[in-house]
Amino acid sequence: MKKLILACLTLFVVNVVNAQTGYQVGDLAADFNLKNVDGKNVSLANYKNAKGYIVVFTCNTCPVSKAYEARVEALNKLYAAKGYPVVAINTNDPVASPGDTYAKMQERAKEKNFSFAYLEDPDHINTKKYGAMRTPHVFVLQKTVKGNEVAYIGAIDNDQQEANDQRDNYVQNAVNQLLKGEKPTVVSTKAIGCTIKWKKEVSR
């Protein structure tokens, strides 16, 4: 019986934690100040002409993230000038995932010629705050008088393998609508991704 109660409590706690973590559409997202691959720190507030942001939680190592690298670059090329720059944040702990160290991030950015900021997130502070669950995981933010409002959460498109005839470019659609002064029709989507490589808890 005790075991059952414990199991129930555990389930309960897990559910509560799941329900509480991260932003929902409509929430105001916090700014950050994180180190970019060029050594300089970047905050959302640095982008003076931005109307919003395409925040992409990603990493070096996840095959899904890699499959989307070119598409993330294309998003920045397409929307940075229109006021929606891409800001990429590496979710992974460099010890848990040795391919995701700061040096490897720099290498990757250089090799792939990233035109967007690629930031490290020590101790997963922003990954947790935003509630990124996997890589890649996109949060489109709209700059409003109240702050940076979350307008879309989810996948870049529904065509991970570039094989879906009915491709929906979720992020593009959302940003296009925001640029027209509309609210995005689709505000939340899902896709298969890699788990975030969390920092191992130090046992006491």
Peptide bond into 98 cis (omega under 30): no
Strand partners, 141: 53, 150
Please tell me the distance from the alpha carbon of residue 182 to that of residue 175, in angstroms, as a whole number.
Answer: 9
Listed ranges 68-76, 103-111, 121-129, 185-193: which one lies at the site for another protein (CB under 8 A): 185-193
Helix (H, G, I), strand (E, B) or coil at 196: coil
Strand partners, 120: 90
Residue 203 found at the interface with another protein (CB under 8 A): no
Listed ranges 28-36, 111-119, 138-146, 165-173: which one lies at the site for another protein (CB under 8 A): 165-173
Helix (H, G, I), strand (E, B) or coil at 37: coil
Residue 192 found at the interface with another protein (CB under 8 A): yes
Among 29, 75, 151, 191, binds another protein (CB under 8 A): 191
Tokens of 119: 């930031």
Pattern 115-154, another protein, x by CB under 8 A = ------------------xx--------------------
Residue 193 found at the interface with another protein (CB under 8 A): yes
Residue 189 found at the interface with another protein (CB under 8 A): yes
Nearest one of 32, 12, 26, 6 to 150, comparing CA atoms = 26
Instruction: Tell me which residues touch another protein (CB under 8 A).
Output: 7, 18, 62-63, 67, 133-134, 155, 158-161, 163-166, 168, 189-197
